[in-house]
Structure formats: structure tokens, C-alpha cells
Structure 1
Amino acid sequence: MYLLTSWLVMINIIGFAVMGWDKRKARRQQYRIPESRIWAIALSGGALGAWAGMNVFRHKTKHIQFAFGLPLITLVWAAVFLWG
């Protein structure tokens, strides 16, 4: 359980940071972080961090797949964590 907790903390920090970094790149009109990478981080357990970053940085909030997908993945990971 310690490894799972450590993994989830680390990947959620990464998910949060990636949303902030992508927002910064978007504002500077630089090469962006691919959405597939954001989804990979979310599916790996970082959905809560990415969701928090999405709201804190106001990034990708109008993308329906992120607005509904990240909370859904968060619920799935919460179930895995609580019952796993």
C-alpha cells in the first residue's frame, strides 16, 4: 500500500505540474505538451492532480473530454485505492 500511495502522490504532482507547464507554453505560443501525454499521466493515476491543475491554471476547462474524463478517471482511481 505504501508503494501505491507514493506512486499516486508523485504522479499527481506531475499531473498538476504538466497542466501548469502546458498553460505556460500555450501563452508563449511555444510547442505544446501533447494531449496524449496528459491522458497517459491521468490514466497512470495522476488524474486528480491534472484535474486540480486544469482548474487552478484554467487550462483545458472548455475541453469536454477533459472536463468529464479527468473526474471520471479520478473516481476510478479512488475506487482502486480504497478497495485495492
Structure 2
Amino acid sequence: MAQALLAYMAVVSLVLLVFMGMDKSRAKKQEWRIAERTLFTLAICGGAVGGVLGMYLFRHKTRHNSFAFGFPLLAALQIFMIVRLWGISL
């Protein structure tokens, strides 16, 4: 079960990472943007690690407190959940 959850979270993280890059690119071009609600929904649904990577890789949303604190907090909780499911003691 932990492997399936990890694979799921990896896919959602990759999707969120790509969305963060697309949104940053669109922001630079002053084009239609991806809704913040969509980005947070993907993070809550298991993609927070990709969100954190996207924030710092693309330097996107790092000044928004909800992202700067929310994504890392969600990522920590999701990593903790995987570690606990895998049976690794901390």
C-alpha cells in the first residue's frame, strides 16, 4: 500500500511541478493563469513536494505566505505519512 501511495504522490507532485512552471511562464507573459485554488488542491491531494520544488525551482509564489508556509507544511505531513506507512521509526 505504501508503494502505491508513494507512486500516486510522485505523479501528483510531478503534475504540480509542471503546473507551477506553466503558471510562472504565463505570469511573465501576462497570460491567463492557473488558479491558486487549483495549485493548492493538487498540493492537498498529495503533490505538496512537487509544489515546494516548483516554488523554489521557478521562484514562483515564494512571497505568498499561504504558499511559502502552506506547501512546506503539507509536504512535511505527506512525507511523515509515507514514512509512517512504510514502518520506518523516526
The TM-score with structure 2 as length reference comes to: 0.89
Q: Could you list the runs of 5+ residues in structure 2 that have no partner in the other structure?
A: 86-90
- 1:10 — aligned with what? 11
Counterpart residue type for residue 20 of structure 2: M
Which deviations, in whole Å up to 9, do the C-alpha atoms of 1:33-83 show, x marking residues without a partner? 000000000001111101111101011110011000000001110111111
- Alpha-carbon separation, structure 2, partners of 1:56 and 1:62: 14
Counterpart residue type for residue 74 of structure 1: A
Note the C-alpha offset of 1:2. 2.4
- Alpha-carbon separation, structure 2, partners of 1:2 and 1:52: 21
Match of 2:63, SS state, is: coil
Q: Could you list the runs of 5+ residues in structure 1 that have no partner in the other structure?
A: none
Query: What do you get for the CA RMSD once the two structures are aligned?
Result: 0.8
Match of 1:29, SS state, is: coil
- 1:79 — aligned with what? 80
Counterpart residue type for residue 49 of structure 2: L
The TM-score with structure 1 as length reference comes to: 0.95
- 1:55 — aligned with what? 56
Q: Which structure is larger by alpha-carbon Rg, 1 or 2?
A: 2
Moved over 3 A (4+): none
Q: How many residues align?
A: 84
Q: Percent identity?
A: 35
